[in-house]
Amino acid sequence: MKINRRNILSMLGMTPALLAGASAEAQQAKPHAQPGKASAGHAKVEGLNPKGTPPAIQLIPMAPRLGSLDGKTVYLIDTGFPGGGLLLLEIQGWFKRNMPSVNTVFKRKAGPYAEDDPELWKEIKDKGHAAIMAIGH
C-alpha cells in the first residue's frame, strides 16, 4: 500500500508545497561526495561503556533459625504502612490463641520505613528472639 503524502498533508490542512521545501533543504544539506571516495571531513565517534565497574558485594549471612518459638519473644514491628499495624495486631491475637507460650511485643518503628531506629534494633537484640515487620506491598 502506497501512502500519498500530498493527500495526508491536505487532510491535515497543510500545503503540499512543504514536501518540495523539505526535499530542497535535504538536497542542500547533503555533502556532494564522489562515489567510491571517502570524505576527509568525517569525524570519529567514541563510545563509552555505561556499565562501569560495580563495587564488590558484601555478603551478610542470614540470622540463625530458631528450632521453636515456644517460650520465645517475637517483636511485631509496625513501620507505619497503612494497615500494617492492624495486620500485626491480628497476628498478635493469633499467637495468643494458638501459641500462648510465645510472648509478642508490638512496637511502632520511629520515623519512616527507610530511616534507621537504633534504639528499637538494640531492644530487639537484647530482649527478643525474632521479629516480624509489616513493610507493606
Q: Does residue 117 fall inside a structural domain?
A: yes
Q: Does residue 127 fall inside a structural domain?
A: yes
Q: Does residue 28 fall inside a structural domain?
A: no
What pLDDT score does 7 carry?
Answer: 72
Q: Does residue 103 fall inside a structural domain?
A: yes
Predicted confidence (pLDDT) per residue in 25-60, tens digit: 555 555 555 555 555 667 888 777 777 777 889 998
> Does residue 53 or residue 72 have the better pLDDT?
72
Find all residues with CB under 8 Å of 79, minimum gap 6, and list them.
Answer: 109, 112, 113, 133, 134, 135, 136
What pLDDT score does 125 carry?
Answer: 94
Q: Does residue 100 fall inside a structural domain?
A: yes
Write 52-56 long-range contacts (CB < 8 A, 24+): none
What is the number of structural domains in the chain? 1
Q: With a cut of 80, say whether residue 130 has pLDDT above it.
A: yes
- Give the cell for residue 43: 569525524
Global pTM exceeds 0.95: no
| DSSP per residue, 85-96 | HHHHHHHHHHHH
| Domain range enclosing 107 | 73-134
